[in-house]
Amino acid sequence: MPDSPLPWHRPQWQQLNERRAQGRFPHALLLTGPEGVGKSHFARQFAQSLLCNSPLATGPACDDCRACLLVRAGSHPDLSLVSPLEGKKSISVDQVRGVGHYLSLKSQYGRHKVVVVSPADSMNVNAANSLLKTLEEPNEGSVLILTTSRPAQLPATIRSRCQELRFGEVVQKEAAPWLKSQLEGDENPLTLLALAGGAPLKALRMADKELVSLRKDLFTGLERLAAQGADPISLANQWVKADTQRGLYWMYSWITDMVRLKATAAAPKISNEDMVQPLARLAAGASLQALLQQQERVVTVLRQEEQNLNLQLLLEDLLIEWRNCFAATKQRPFVQDDRI
Ligand SMILES: [Zn+2]
């Protein structure tokens, strides 16, 4: 359950406070913005503040009253959090029917009745249609909070019945100190933020030790291949057992950085700031054209990967092509470990 408000959420708190003060508070809110900026976090905190007996003047809950304790324990009877069930990708129509029924009941503590649907774009068509009925006939005191990083995936009829609250990109100067305070290890917050496209909560998830070492292993494998010193088939085999999609995103971001390093004389802004030197060394071993072609191939495999085609074969081809990018030049990248 929520802890203190995220520093970059102040404008959103302010907006909602103003609406509350003017009595223009919406029955349904749609929180939109990039993945990993804390929309769900905000939704839960806002739900808590609606149920709190004495919210702070700035908006967030007191975090001390009985209602807050119940929210924190996950047992407040007037709050329901709806997400895809374990092992499922979408929110079912039954779950959404449950929301309608839940909101039709009286609040047990006499304040609001709050439902958070997150991510709202994971509702299937029937579920979204069912939610529409609830949105059209809101009950007194009921508040529905939807979150999505893909608002275009939601039917226009749902969007038009919600007040939108936008969350923009987070500026590094607010995100980096917060991220640093959350990290247990000695990971570099700037590197993590760069990897997560600037999204602080995504960056925090990426700090996961296993992911950090997976990224390092994969990069080392690609370096060895580039130096013609590894077997693409066995690397594909290892990769297919790991987080393939994330690996493909990494590969894409490494190639993008290599292209930038190769194409710009002055020091370019790259995503993988912790890998400037190894990426520059690799980039020196391939032509710009070969790198651009490889970048396209990664995009193709990412698309095919979603269609459940034979992933092992796709990765083998991709890695063989990667090796070929470096075979044409005499310059061989210098391989060195433990730098990520
Ligand atoms: Zn409270």
The CATH code of the domain that includes 283 is 1.20.272.10
pLDDT band, residue 283 (cuts 50/70/90) = very high
Is the residue at 97 inside a domain? yes
Distance 202 CA to ligand 1 centre (A): 28
Distance 134 CA to ligand 1 centre (A): 28
For residue 11, what are the domain limits? 7-168
Q: Is 87 left (phi over 0), alpha (psi -120 to 50) or beta?
A: left
Q: What percent helix, strand, coil does the chain show, rounded to 5? A: 55, 10, 35
For the residues 317-323, what does the mean pLDDT come to? Answer: 96
Q: For 71-122, write each residue's pLDDT tens digit.
A: 999 999 999 999 999 989 899 999 999 999 999 999 999 889 999 999 999 9
Query: What per-residue confidence (pLDDT) applies to 3?
Result: 66
State whether residue 73 is helix, strand or coil. Answer: coil
Distance 71 CA to ligand 1 centre (A): 9
Distances (CA, A) of 66 to 48, 51, 77: 11, 10, 12
Distance 56 CA to ligand 1 centre (A): 9
Distance 62 CA to ligand 1 centre (A): 4
Same domain? 11 vs 160: yes
Is the residue at 157 inside a domain? yes
Last residue of a domain, one of 109, 140, 168: 168
CATH of the domain at 11: 3.40.50.300
Distance 70 CA to ligand 1 centre (A): 9
Q: How many domains does the chain have?
A: 2
Distance 37 CA to ligand 1 centre (A): 24
Same domain? 120 vs 22: yes
Same domain? 157 vs 12: yes
Same domain? 147 vs 214: no
